[in-house]
Chain A
Amino acid sequence: MQKAFLVDGSICLGCNTCAMACKNQYHQDKGILWRKVREIGAEEYHIDNNNILPTLVSYQKAPTAEMPMERFYFSLACNHCENPACVAICPVGAHTKDPETGICKHDQTICIGCGGCVKACPFGASKFNEKMGQAEKCSMCWERQADGKTTACVQSCPVGAIAIIDLHDPKYKEYANASPIGIDYAINAETKPTTRFIHPSMPKEVYRLPKG
């Protein structure tokens, strides 16, 4: 099994409910968002203030599509990669990949704050909490899932734009094969990110008043 987030950008409102629901559940410190709603086409697309890296290298192929400002988004947390860099680099085993679900978990009680995962993750999923001197990231609410609930982000989304799918389930093979769908954010990333994305588009008919 490989659990993965399926994010439907065609219906995402960009309302940030998911990002705030995550904060509501885990009380991340000011400035830290495990899940971030990124605006397609905006310059901030490349920038993540919580990350040691000034730009996220794998976003260099950001969509060039002309999208109006503040209208189209994609919501991204940890990609729960099939071949996660954080697990590989962590010297103390604070990052683990759950063999059953494929969730990349981070255990803060073990973390020594070396920052290796923060540098290694091509997507900025691991955040460095300077106050705690430790890393932190989305662990796909595995405790909630174990308790029979879904993740905070999935439960809170008002339009069902985030879902959790099993990439190894034949039912989702269209998503498994196209890696990842729609958006160029991680072409050829060696870590094999699992988040899948349905690309938004402008309404078919758009009428704007003529100039002057």
Chain B
Amino acid sequence: MQTIQPQDRSRLDELKHLRDIFNAQNSKELKIAFGALHSCLEISEEDLEVQFNRYFVGPMEPIADPFASIYIDDPDVVMSKSTLHVRELYETMGFTNPLKNIIPDDHLGVELDAYYQLLYLEEAKGITYLSDLRHYFLHEHLSLWVPRFIARALEHSEHDSKAMTFILLQLKSLLIRETTTQGVTA
């Protein structure tokens, strides 16, 4: 089994922290994941969450809903065609989603989790079996909507919220890095 390289660790860690930001269920979880991204921004737990909710959660219409279906299928609907496509992909990847039919499968946090787990297998365990699927997921799915999601949110955040801008830019650079990095060679 391969030993993990330091640069790989940070690639994985960054992905993990972004995943945790979008999966956070309260201010504390959000703040911890946000802090782990090494932001030098000073922001209170509450302010961070209030801003995050206004952008991505609700209860009023968020600036950018974090679901693929919003960008691929239908601007106001979850659990549609593309969601079910992602569900199929997870099953092909061999994942079970305990939140199936509760959180739509194409929620950004869930998708980042899937991508993280696939990358983890390659990077940390040296298992390259799923590399094709990971690339497919990245190029044929994540790349279809996440850039549009980022652009929609950034348009607001750049003159409104430093913290959200930071998160979005981190996500953006991660996506660029992943799409331009060749897969590890087995």
Please report A residues at the B interface, Cβ cutoff 8 Å.
27, 29-30
How many A-B pairs have beta carbons closer than 8 Å: the answer is 7
Main secondary structure of the interface of A (DSSP, over half): loop
Q: Which residues of B contact A30 (CB under 8 A)?
A: 74-76
Q: Chain A residues with Cβ under 8 A from B75's Cβ?
A: 30
Please give, as numbers and ranges, the residues of chain B lying within 8 Å of A27 by CB-CB distance: 80-81
- Chain A residue numbers with a CB within 8 Å of B81 are 27
What distance in Å separates the Cβ of B145 from its nearest Cβ neighbour in chain A?
A: 12
Chain B residues within 8 Å of A, Cβ to Cβ: 73-76, 80-81
Residues of chain A lying within 8 A (CB to CB) of residue B73: 29
Complex Cα distance, B74 from A30, in Å, reads: 7
Those 5 A-B pairs whose CB atoms lie nearest each other, nearest first:
A30-B74, A29-B74, A30-B75, A27-B80, A29-B73
Chain B residues positioned under 8 Å from A29 (CB to CB): 73-74
Q: How far is the CB of A48 from chain B (nearest CB, A)?
A: 21
Q: How far is the CA of A30 from the CA of B72 in the complex (A)?
A: 12
Cβ distance B2 to chain A, nearest Cβ, rounded Å:
42
Q: Which residue in chain A gives the minimum CB-CB distance to B80?
A: A27
7 contacts between A and B (CB under 8 A): A27-B80, A27-B81, A29-B73, A29-B74, A30-B74, A30-B75, A30-B76
- Complex CA gap A204/B121 in Å reads 77
Shortest distance from the beta carbon of A38 to any chain B beta carbon, whole Å: 25
Q: What residues of chain A lie closer than 8 Å to B76, measured between beta carbons?
A: 30
| Cα distance A29–B73 in the bound complex, in angstroms | 7
CB distance from A108 to the nearest CB of B (A): 12
Bound form: Cα–Cα A29–B76 in Å: 11
Docked complex Cα distance between A142 and B137 (Å): 34
Complexed CA–CA distance, A27 and B69 (Å): 13
A133 to nearest B CB, angstroms? 13
Question: In this complex, what residue of A is CB-closest to B72?
Answer: A131
- In the assembly, what is the distance between CA of A127 and CA of B1, in Å? 55
Whole-angstrom distance between the alpha carbons of A30 and B69 in the complex?
13
A49 to chain B, nearest CB (A): 16
- Chain B's nearest CB lies how many Å from the CB of A203? 40
Give the shortest distance, in Å, between B175 (CB) and chain A (any CB): 22
Q: How far is the CA of A29 from the CA of B81 in the complex (A)?
A: 11
Distance in angstroms between the alpha carbons of A30 and B75 in the assembled complex: 8
How far is B80's CA from A30's CA once the two chains are assembled, in angstroms? 13
- Complex alpha-carbon distance, A38 and B113, angstroms: 48
Closest Cβ of chain A to B69, distance in Å, is 11
A111 to B58, CA, bound (A): 39
Q: In the complex, what distance in Å separates the CA atom of A27 from the CA atom of B82?
A: 12
A30 to nearest B CB, angstroms?
A: 6
